[in-house]
C-alpha cells in the first residue's frame, strides 16, 4: 500500500523536474527562454493537479512529468512537446480551460492539448464506440499536428508501465487498445523502442504465463549469451579496427514479444529459435559514401561467417515506408548458431531510433541530422486522403487507418520511370487511381512489363506499368472488391454517389407515393426503419434502388406487415424477414444451424460461467474463434441478446476490448462439477511406426479422455496432425500436451 509522505513527495517531484531539464540540456533541446516557459507549464500543471492522485496513490503530477521525460528520451521533442506533455491532462481533469492555455502558451499548444483531450461520453453506447470516437479525434488532430500522436504514444507508454495498480478488466481493456492502435502507429512512425516496450507490456498483461516463462528462459541464459556475443564479435571488431572504421558495435537479444510471436507463428519451442541473438554495427561515415561503406562491411562479415541467403534484407537501397534504412543478414557461427547482423550508418541509426520524428524535428530546427524530408510528409498526405472521406463512421474510419499501418509496400514504375509506392496486393486499378482519378475511372487494363493484363491484375514490386484507358469504360460495383488502396475505394464510391444523386428525386417521389398509399409519411424515422429492415446504409441508396425498381411496393409492404397499424415499424418485424432479402449470397440455413449449435453450447456451459452483474435475460455462448475451456482467463461481450465468452488472449476479444468497452462483461469459471469441453491440439512429428497407437494410448488410457477425432497426414517422413479431444480444464489439457510432447520423434505440440 502506498504511504503518503508529503515532504518526500515534494522532493521526488522536484527531482523528476530536475531530471527533465537536465535531459533537455544534455540533448541541447531547449534555450534559456524556453526553460522558463517549461517551468511555467510545470507550475500550472502541479497546482492544477495538486489534490489529485493516481490509482497507485502517488501524486498525479508524477504522470505528466514522466510523459515529458519519455518524450525527451525516446523521441527528442523540444520545448513545445515538453509543455504539452506537462499540460496534457489539465483541461480534461481540472478546471483549467483550453482558452486559458491558449492565452498563456499560444494557439499551437492549445491545439495539441485539445487533440489529446478525450471527448465527452455523449453517444448512444449501444450503437457507437466511445473508444473509436476518441481514436478518430486523435487521428484527425494528428493529421493537423503530428505532435499529438507523439505525445499520445508517450502517454500510453507511461500508462502501460504503471498498469499494475489497475483492475484486471481495466488492464485487459488498456492493453487491447494499445495493441489495436498504438503499437501499429509506433511501428509506422518507426519508433521501435516505444513499439517494442509496448508489445512486451501488452504480452505481460494479456498472457502473463507466456511472458514470465520466456523472461525466465532469457534471464537463465544471460551469462552464456553475453559470452557468446563477445566471442562472436571479437573477430569482427579486429577486422573493423584494421580497416580504420569509426564504429559502435553492440549485441542484443530478441524482445520477449518477438520470441513469443515466433514461437506461436511457427509452432516451435524457445530452444528452436535460431536467431535469438543479434549484433548491430553503426559506422560514422559521410552520408555520400554510407551506402557503399555499409556494403563493404557486409562483405567483410560474410568473409568471416557463412550467410543465410534467405535472411538477407537490403533496406538501404529501398528504405521501409517509415524511412528505416539498414542491411540485415543472418550468419552461421562456428559453434552452429545463427546470429543476425544489422549494419547501418550513424544517420540511419538516428532515423531508426526516432523514426519519422527525426524528420519533423529536423524541420523545426531541433535536429541537424540530414534525413529524407519527404518520408513523413508523404505519409501524412496519405492520412489526409483517408480523412477526406467524412462519410465513414468512427469504427470504419479507424479500421481503414489501421489497415494502412502494417501493410507491406511494393515499388512500381510509370513508362517515364517515375516510382509509385503502393500497398502489397495492389492491382492495376489501384495504380491507375494513384496516378490520376480520371485515369482510374476509365481504366480497362494495362501493359505490365510490355504484357497486356486486365485491370484486376495484381502487381509485383519492380514492374513497369502503362495504363490502358477508354472513355467507354466506367466503374462497376465489383471494382470495390478489386482495389486495395483507400484512395481508389473512396474515388469509386464517390463516383457511385454522384450517379445515384441523378436518381434521388425520382426515387424519393416514387417512395413517397408508395408510403402515402400505405397511409405513412416520408419522415426521417420511417426512412431509418426502412433502411434497417432492408439492410441499406443510406437514404440515397434507398432512393436509388426504388428509382431503379430494385425495391418496389411489394418489398415496402412486407416491411410493415399485414397487422401493423403504428407508424413506427416494429423491431421484431425488422429483425426477421428482410435479414437476407437483398443478399444474393445469403446462407440463412447455415445461420439457423449455427444458432442451434450456440443454443446447445449455452445449455452445456451456462452453469459454469459466472458473470459480473445481472444478465439473467442473456444467453451465454462459448466463442468458436478461441473455444475457451475451464481454467482459461475469460471475458464476455454483449452481442444482441446473448453474451459471448472469449479467452482474454483471443485476438477478436482484444479488438472488441479496444473498441467496445461498454459491451464488456466480467466473467469467470464457476468452481464445481467438471464439464467436458471440446478443444484441439496441433502437432508435428517424425513419421514412425506406432505413432498413432502411442497417441491413442496416452489420450484414452493414461489421461482417461474422450477423443472426438484424429487427423494425421504424412509427407516426406513428417507427420502433421490435429487431435480433437474433450477435456475438463486447462490443467488436464496442459498435462496431455506435455505427455504428447515427450513422445519419440515429436517436434512440436501446441493448443489450437
DSSP string for 199-251: HHHHHHHH-HHHHHHHHHHHHHTHHHHHHHHHHHHHHHHHHHHHTT--EEEEE
* pLDDT at residue number 596: 34
Q: Give the CA dihedral 471, 473, 476, 481, nearest 10 degrees.
A: -110
SS3 call for 327: strand
State the pLDDT at residue 599. Answer: 33
Chunked mean pLDDT (size 10), the chain, 752 residues: 80 94 91 94 94 90 96 90 94 89 93 80 49 76 81 94 89 90 85 92 92 89 81 91 93 87 80 79 94 95 91 89 87 87 92 74 47 55 62 66 70 88 90 93 93 93 92 90 87 88 88 86 82 79 87 82 41 32 33 34 49 70 85 83 86 84 80 75 87 88 87 83 87 89 86 82
Side-chain-side CA neighbours of residue 569 (13 Å): 27
CA-wise closest residue to 134 among 115, 119, 156, 146: 119
Q: At what angle do helices 32-48 and 6-26 cross, to 10 degrees?
A: 150
pTM of the model: 0.70
Residues 6+ apart with CB under 8 A from 318: 411
User: Is the distance from CB of 345 to CB of 183 less than 8 angstroms?
Assistant: no
Residue 550 dihedral angles phi and psi, to the nearest 5°: -80, -25
Which pLDDT belongs to residue 571?
34
- The whole-number pLDDT of residue 388 equals 60
* Segments of 540-641 assigned E as strands: 609-611, 619-622, 634-639
Which pLDDT value is given to residue 614?
63
Contact 681, 740 (CB under 8 A): yes
The pLDDT, as a whole number, for residue 52 is 92
Report all structural domains of the chain as residue ranges with CATH numbers, in order of start. 6-165 (1.10.3210.10), 221-363 (3.30.460.10), 407-499 (3.10.20.30), 502-575 (no CATH), 588-669 (no CATH), 677-751 (3.30.70.260)
Q: What is d(CA 146, CA 236) in angstroms, rounded to the nearest whole number?
A: 40
Query: Cα dist. 124→120, 127, 133 in Å?
Result: 12, 6, 12
Report the pLDDT value the prediction gives residue 426, as an integer from 0 to 100: 93
CA dihedral 196, 202, 205, 207 (to 10 degrees): -90
d(CA 98, CA 111): 9
Amino acid at each position: 500500500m502506498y504511504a503518503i509522505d508529503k515532504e518526500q513527495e515534494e522532493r521526488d517531484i522536484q527531482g523528476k523536474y530536475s531530471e527533465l531539464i537536465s535531459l533537455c540540456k544534455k540533448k541541447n533541446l531547449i534555450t534559456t527562454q524556453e526553460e522558463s516557459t517549461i517551468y511555467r507549464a510545470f507550475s500550472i500543471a502541479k497546482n492544477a493537479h495538486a489534490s489529485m492522485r493516481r490509482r497507485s496513490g502517488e501524486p498525479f503530477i508524477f504522470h505528466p512529468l514522466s510523459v515529458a521525460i519519455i518524450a525527451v528520451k525516446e523521441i527528442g521533442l523540444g520545448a513545445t512537446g515538453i509543455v504539452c506533455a506537462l499540460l496534457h491532462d489539465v483541461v480534461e481533469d481540472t478546471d483549467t480551460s483550453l482558452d486559458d492555455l491558449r492565452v498563456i502558451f499560444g494557439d499551437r499548444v492549445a491545439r495539441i492539448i485539445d487533440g489529446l483531450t478525450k471527448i465527452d461520453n455523449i453517444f448512444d453506447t449501444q450503437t457507437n464506440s466511445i473508444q473509436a470516437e476518441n481514436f478518430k479525434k486523435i487521428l484527425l488532430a494528428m493529421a493537423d499536428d503530428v505532435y499529438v500522436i507523439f505525445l499520445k504514444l508517450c502517454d500510453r507508454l507511461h500508462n502501460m508501465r504503471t498498469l499494475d495498480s489497475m483492475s484486471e478488466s481495466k488492464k485487459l481493456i488498456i492493453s487491447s487498445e494499445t495493441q489495436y492502435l498504438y503499437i501499429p502507429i509506433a511501428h509506422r512512425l518507426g519508433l521501435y523502442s516505444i513499439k517494442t516496450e509496448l508489445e512486451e507490456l501488452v504480452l505481460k498483461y494479456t498472457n502473463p504465463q507466456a511472458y514470465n516463462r520466456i523472461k525466465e528462459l532469457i534471464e537463465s541464459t544471460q551469462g552464456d549469451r553475453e559470452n557468446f556475443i563477445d566471442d562472436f564479435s571479437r573477430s569482427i571488431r579486429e577486422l573493423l579496427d584494421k580497416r580504420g572504421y569509426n564504429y559502435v558495435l553492440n549485441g542484443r537479444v530478441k524482445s520477449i514479444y518477438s520470441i513469443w510471436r515466433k514461437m506461436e507463428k511457427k509452432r516451435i519451442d524457445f530452444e528452436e529459435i535460431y536467431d535469438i541473438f543479434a549484433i548491430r554495427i553503426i559506422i560514422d561515415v559521410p552520408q555520400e559514401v554510407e551506402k557503399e561503406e555499409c556494403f563493404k562491411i557486409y562483405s567483410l562479415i560474410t568473409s568471416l561467417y557463412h550467410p543465410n541467403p534467405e535472411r538477407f534484407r537490403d533496406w538501404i537501397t529501398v528504405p521501409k515506408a517509415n524511412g528505416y534504412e539498414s542491411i540485415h543478414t543472418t550468419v552461421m557461427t562456428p559453434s552452429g548458431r545463427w546470429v543476425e547482423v544489422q549494419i547501418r550508418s550513424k544517420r540511419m541509426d538516428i532515423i531508426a531510433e526516432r523514426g519519422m520524428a527525426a524528420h519533423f524535428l529536423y524541420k523545426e530546427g531541433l535536429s541537424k541530422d540530414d534525413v529524407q524530408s519527404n518520408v513523413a510528409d508523404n505519409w501524412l498526405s496519405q492520412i489526409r486522403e483517408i480523412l477526406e472521406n467524412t462519410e465513414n463512421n468512427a469504427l470504419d474510419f479507424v479500421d481503414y487507418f489501421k489497415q494502412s499501418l502494417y501493410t507491406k509496400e511494393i515499388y512500381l514504375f510509370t513508362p517515364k520511370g517515375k516510382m509509385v509506392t503502393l500497398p502489397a496486393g495492389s492491382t492495376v486499378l489501384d495504380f491507375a487511381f494513384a496516378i490520376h482519378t480520371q485515369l482510374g475511372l476509365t481504366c480497362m487494363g494495362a501493359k505490365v512489363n510490355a504484357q497486356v493484363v486486365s485491370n484486376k491484375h495484381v502487381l509485383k514490386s519492380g514492374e513497369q506499368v502503362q495504363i490502358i484507358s477508354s472513355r467507354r469504360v466506367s466503374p462497376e460495383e465489383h471494382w470495390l472488391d478489386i482495389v486495395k488502396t483507400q484512395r481508389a475505394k473512396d474515388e469509386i464510391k464517390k463516383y457511385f454517389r454522384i450517379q445515384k444523386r441523378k436518381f434521388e428525386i425520382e426515387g424519393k417521389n416514387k417512395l413517397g407515393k408508395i408510403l402515402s398509399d400505405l397511409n405513412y409519411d416520408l419522415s426521417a424515422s420511417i426512412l431509418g426503419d426502412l433502411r434497417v429492415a432492408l439492410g441499406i446504409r443510406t437514404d440515397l441508396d434507398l432512393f436509388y434502388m426504388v428509382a431503379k425498381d430494385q425495391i418496389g411496393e411489394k418489398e415496402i409492404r412486407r416491411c410493415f406487415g399485414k397487422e401493423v397499424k403504428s407508424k413506427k415499424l416494429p423491431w421484431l418485424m425488422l429483425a426477421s424477414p428482410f435479414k437476407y432479402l437483398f443478399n444474393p449470397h445469403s446462407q440463412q440455413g447455415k445461420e439457423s444451424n449455427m444458432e442451434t449449435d450456440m443454443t446447445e453450447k449455452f445449455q452445456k456451459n451456462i452453469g459454469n460461467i459466472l458473470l459480473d452483474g445481472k444478465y439473467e435475460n442473456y444467453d451465454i455462448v462459448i466463442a468458436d474463434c478461441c473455444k475457451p475451456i475451464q481454467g482459461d482467463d475469460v471475458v464476455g461481450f454483449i452481442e444482441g441478446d446473448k453474451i459471448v465468452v472469449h479467452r482474454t488472449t483471443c485476438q477478436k476479444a482484444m479488438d472488441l476490448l479496444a473498441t467496445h468497452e461498454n459491451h464488456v462483461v466480467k466473467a469467470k469459471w464457476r468452481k464445481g462439477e467438471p464439464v467436458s469441453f471440446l478443444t484441439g491440439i496441433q502437432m508435428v512429428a517424425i513419421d514412425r511406426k506406432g505413432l498413432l497407437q502411442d497417441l491413442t494410448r496416452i489420450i484414452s488410457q493414461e489421461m482417461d479422455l474422450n477423443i472426438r477425432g484424429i487427423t494425421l497426414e504424412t509427407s516426406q517422413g513428417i507427420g502433421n496432425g490435429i487431435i480433437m479431444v474433450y477435456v475438463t480444464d486447462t490443467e488436464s489439457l496442459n498435462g496431455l500436451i506435455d505427455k504428447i510432447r515427450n513422445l519419440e520423434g515429436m517436434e512440436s505440440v501446441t493448443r489450437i
